Amino acid sequence: MPSRRHLLAVCLAAPSLARAQATWAPSRPLRFVVPFPAGGATDVAARILAERLTESLGQPVVVENRTGSSGNIGIENVVRSAPDGLSLLMGTSGALTVNPHLFPNLGFDPARDLAPVSLAFTTDNALIVNPNVPARTAAELVALAKARPGTLNFGSAGPGSSTHMAAELFRLAAGIQVLHVPYRGSAPALNDTIAGNVQFMVDQLPSCIGQVQSGRVRALAVTGPRRSPLLPDVPTVAEAGLPGAENTSWGAVLVPAGTPEAAVERLGAAVRDAVAIPAVRERMAQAGADAAASSPAELAALMRRETERWGKVVKEAGISVG
């Protein structure tokens, strides 16, 4: 996973928007498909980005929420769309790099059937516990789990979700035996962590930050490469002695494979231009996301690395959605 400093170097080695504009321009409104419900961090980030893309591309960029099957329905909708640069996808790390290992009959391959455009944002996760859990550090939670193997529970948004995968990565890095309790979404899992029905969770910061700040859950570590400005006193998992648990969720813009290179270049330049704007970055930060950008090649390489990494976690943890 590239460092956040690398991800946020939004203007380096990027083609200029003016040069890209000279080679391709959309002739009608664009669709920006978000494969998750409205209101979540991915949706909010897409809508912030769509506003700026509308300005820079000279055509309306309309966000469409096409939900279901852990993001697969929305992804397939874009895969089956005409490769004309007018159908965009806000893909996420889980949907693009974990789902291929969980759904053997997808009918499409993100690496083959989508063309990377640019990263758009990253979000860190937080290891959180119910306040009654007698652990104030990640090391203490690991020690507690090792002293009572198989008795601690963790919640997630469901099998194969980003919150499940991040928790399994933590479990494998720590070498502990804990029980997975899947829920239908992150919100009910967080609610049961607050209630003490499960002892801990690895949740995305945008989802849990309010509960952490109010004291309803305790944050023991964040999973990113450096401390979060939202929780400056909370160490990273690497600082807590678990570098193998480091992970960052991300969102990226992609288009159907076969989209003309000129269109990919123009769209990528527009995304990089957008996330370099302080107001855009600030609005994303308020939603718990860090604006980011990349070249298509960098995004493709990231997808390959993450697909391999999460495939190993799925296999080692024996994760299935059946």
Position 13 scores a pLDDT of 41
For the chain, the domains span: 4-123+247-317, 125-245
C-alpha 33/C-alpha 251 separation (Å) is: 12
CB atoms within 10 A of CB 215: 8
Q: How confident is the model at residue 22 (pLDDT cuts 50, 70, 90)?
A: low
Share of the chain above pLDDT 70, in %: 93
State the pTM of this model: 0.84
C-alpha 255/C-alpha 28 separation (Å) is: 16
Position 162 scores a pLDDT of 87
For residue 60, give Cα distances in angstroms to 29, 57, 86. Answer: 5, 8, 10
Residue 12 reports pLDDT greater than 50: no
Superfamily of domain 125-245: Periplasmic binding protein-like II (3.40.190.10)
Position 120 scores a pLDDT of 97
Share of the chain above pLDDT 90, in %: 76
Find out whether 89 and 65 touch, Cβ atoms under 8 Å. no
Q: How confident is the model at residue 322 (pLDDT cuts 50, 70, 90)?
A: low
Structure tokens given for 18: 């003016």
Paired with 243 in beta bridges are none
Q: How confident is the model at residue 14 (pLDDT cuts 50, 70, 90)?
A: very low
Residue 11 reports pLDDT greater than 50: no
Residue matched to tokens 């669709």: 31
C-alpha 300/C-alpha 165 separation (Å) is: 21
C-alpha 209/C-alpha 14 separation (Å) is: 33
Find out whether 125 and 202 touch, Cβ atoms under 8 Å. yes
Within 80-234, residue ranges assigned H as helices are: 93, 99-102, 110-113, 138-147, 162-174, 186-195, 205-214
C-alpha 44/C-alpha 158 separation (Å) is: 22
Q: Compute φ and ψ for 87, nearest 5 degrees.
A: -120, 115
Per-residue pLDDT, averaged over 242-268, amounts to 96
Find out whether 295 and 268 touch, Cβ atoms under 8 Å. yes
- Rounded to 10°, the helix 261-275/278-286 angle is 80
C-alpha 322/C-alpha 313 separation (Å) is: 17
pLDDT tens for each residue of 93-113? 999 999 999 998 899 999 999
C-alpha 267/C-alpha 272 separation (Å) is: 9
Q: How confident is the model at residue 72 (pLDDT cuts 50, 70, 90)?
A: very high
| Low-confidence winner among 6-10, 102-106, 311-315 (lowest mean pLDDT) | 6-10
Per-residue pLDDT, averaged over 121-129, amounts to 95
Cα 320 to chain centroid distance, Å, stands at 20
Task: Write the DSSP assignment of 283-316 as a string of letters.
Answer: HHHHTT-EE----HHHHHHHHHHHHHHHHHHHHH
pLDDT tens for each residue of 191-222? 999 999 999 999 988 889 899 999 999 999 99
Structure tokens given for 311: 């495939």
Architecture of domain 4-123+247-317: 3-Layer(aba) Sandwich (3.40)
Domain 4-123+247-317 shares a fold with domain 125-245: yes
Q: How confident is the model at residue 160 (pLDDT cuts 50, 70, 90)?
A: confident
C-alpha 106/C-alpha 98 separation (Å) is: 12
